[in-house]
Chains A and B, each alone.
Chain A
Amino acid sequence: MNLRAEGVSKSYFRKTGEANFFVAVQRTDLTLEGGQVTVLMGRSGSGKTTLLHMLAGLLQPSEGKVFLENTDLYALEDQALSRLRNEKISVIPQSRSAIETLSVRENILLPATLYGHISGETERQAQAWMDRLGILPLADSRPRELSGGELRRMAIARALVSRPAVILADEPTGDLDDENTILVLDVLRESARAGAAVLLVTHENDALKYADVACRMDQGILRIC
């Protein structure tokens, strides 16, 4: 399964003294193929996260379209798009994304819980990913008891547990030490081998070793390396 952006761009209207438009992402074409890891690098503020959010169906592009196979994401009603995101597209956000009222295990199972997809298999998957990412002893802890790195790994486990067709990871190794960075990059690589299309937005040059496709973003312009 592939995720394809065709001529997408995003402009914001800014009121900074004098009203003006700010172009975060220039017209861009990008295809994330199933089975491949695409690494997207670039300086802060270059438009990487904006592009990722447009690819995830979270941010309506100013122009252009995003297709998952042949489905135009932004032509879907909110309910259909939300369900498709729940079932096919997993996002690992750059910032903290835990629901504070739930335990680590419940957070990881939350995407499946929302649509009643919880099964014994899902719970086994959650257990396995927690074990693999080293957060199994924290399964019943509350997010506020976790460090930044542990929360990051929790978000990664949550993204992987439903075996999504597309994984969009925004700085997934941001809070991690070297050992855990390698672990997470390995996990994402394995997911790609299992058929997922993976986009890895990162500052880590080491991530390039895991890339099937490498791109760089600069002032909203995407260049394939």
Chain B
Amino acid sequence: MKAWKLPLRNLARKPGRTAALIALTAFLALSMFAGSVVALSLRRGMSSLENRLGADVIVVPVSAKSKVNLDEILLQGATGYFYMDAELLPQLAKESGVAQLSPQLFLASLRASCCSVAVQVIGIDQDTDFTVQPWISRSYAQRLGEMDVAVGSKISADVGENIILYETRCHVVARLETTGTAMDTCVYCSMETLRALLEAARGLNHDLKISGDPEEVVSAVYLKVQEGMDPQKVADSINLQRKFKKVQAVRTKSMFTGIADSLSGVSRTIGLLVVAVWALAVVLLLIAFLLSANERKREFAVLRLLGTSRRMLAGLMWRETALCSLMGGVLGVALAALILFPFAGLIEHSLGLPYLMPAAPTMALLAAASLAAAVLVGSLASAWATHRLSRVDPGTILREGN
């Protein structure tokens, strides 16, 4: 037998104790890995949402607030539509501080025989768009043609397939990257395609409540303000002008406030839970190692008697603990992965917040960090117990058993 096999023998001989230590460290690793992945996913979801909206101010009809809120459509995945006169566009473009603007047109498909899926359909002006186009271009480098649509990652349609919207066949040309936001449940097309769909919906007697010519309406106008300009001042200026009395300018940041508050609350709760779990587990580990070390003090005394130095004894104990913690860490991370990956949708749904899981390398780093932390905490707890015991005179311990 080699000396390194001693820790293995000890672990195998006390399966109950070993299993308890593994379970404790698994609990540590699980809480750390799952907690950090959820917290990071929420942060990434928020950041992704900000990037995707990409505008400083959004102008919508005043009636939008009473019908379906814009943030419900863009942030929470609700479907809806509202329209305003497109004549406002040149006037908004002339507003002081506006650097760029682009209109969007909304239509909600129905869960009915006319449509294969009930989703929010968003028409973008491909000549001026600065919010959706950069995102689409990562999956589809060309312009969206007539009846072409790009679908969010949560729409169950693949590239090359057709989806039916108001009895109109639309060709899926791109499937967009996941953003972790409500945008993943939307369908995007050109302004022309959306106007054709509006006509189709009206043809099916679907009341869209459009006053005037459908060719002359938009749903929202996205504004980017000039460098150095305060978006709030630009929004306030629009809201105060009589010529814009039928619209309202909303600063996008204010749309995020509610989400940011919820996210901060959830993150804080997760953080507190992880800290509480760790504190509890560390105390339990300390007690477990101390009890185990006390139970084995005679064995330690015999090893000292046979010429094991304190350092060797600490090394033997460390290997035993590290093995246990490593097994527990791997188990904890694996269990967390089994919960996090298959149930990501459920987690996102129950949190009700933008949720974008980190990329594989970041996940691997988080898993490695959780493993390392579990091994480190286990090692420190056992080191403390071993240190206490190795200071006790072996002669006294051996005599105690007489």
Contacts and interface: CB of A to CB of B under 8 A. Distances in A.
A94 interface: yes
Given A58-B394, A101-B10, A49 B399 contact: yes
Contact of A97 (B13, B305, B393): B305
Given A82-B309, A86-B306, A93-B398, A113 B3 contact: yes
Contacts of A13: none
Interface-central residue, B2, B12, B13, B399, by most chain A CB under 10 Å = B399
A95 B399 contact: yes
Interface stretch (A104-112, A127-135, A194-202, A206-214): A104-112
A110 B302 CA distance: 10
B299 to A, nearest CB: 6
B340 interface: no
Contacts of A111: 306-307
Interface residues of B, number: 29
Contacts of B169: none
A60 B1 CA distance: 32
Contact of A78 (B1, B6, B311, B398): B311
A79 B396 CA distance: 20
Contacts of A116: 2-3
Contacts of A124: none
A129 B312 CA distance: 27
A58 B306 contact: no
Interface of B: 1-3, 6, 9-10, 12-13, 298-299, 302-312, 393-396, 398-399, 401-402
A86 B402 contact: no
Given A100-B299, A114-B307, 10 more contacts: A50-B395, A53-B395, A56-B395, A59-B396, A86-B306, A95-B399, A101-B13, A102-B1, A113-B3, A114-B312
Contacts of A106: 1
A31 to B, nearest CB: 21
Nearest to B305: A91
Interface string A48-71: 011001001011100000000000
16 contacts: A56-B395, A58-B304, A60-B393, A78-B309, A79-B309, A82-B312, A85-B306, A86-B306, A97-B398, A101-B10, A102-B6, A102-B9, A110-B306, A114-B303, A114-B306, A116-B3
B1 A109 contact: yes
B75 to A, nearest CB: 60
Please classify how large the interface on chain A is, using the bins under 10, 10 to 19, 20 to 34, 35 or more: 35 or more
Interface string A70-96: 000000001101111111000101111
Contacts of A87: 307
A6 B393 CA distance: 21
Interface-central residue, A60, A99, A109, by most chain B CB under 10 Å = A99
A99 B299 contact: yes
A82 B13 contact: no
A113 B309 contact: no
Contacts of A86: 306-308
Nearest to B394: A58
Contacts of A84: 307
A136 to B, nearest CB: 18
A82 B308 contact: yes
Nearest to B8: A101
Interface string A36-52: 00000000000001100
Nearest to A85: B307
A58 B393 contact: yes
Nearest to B400: A95
Nearest to A91: B305
Interface string A7-36: 000000000000000000000000000000
A81 B298 CA distance: 20
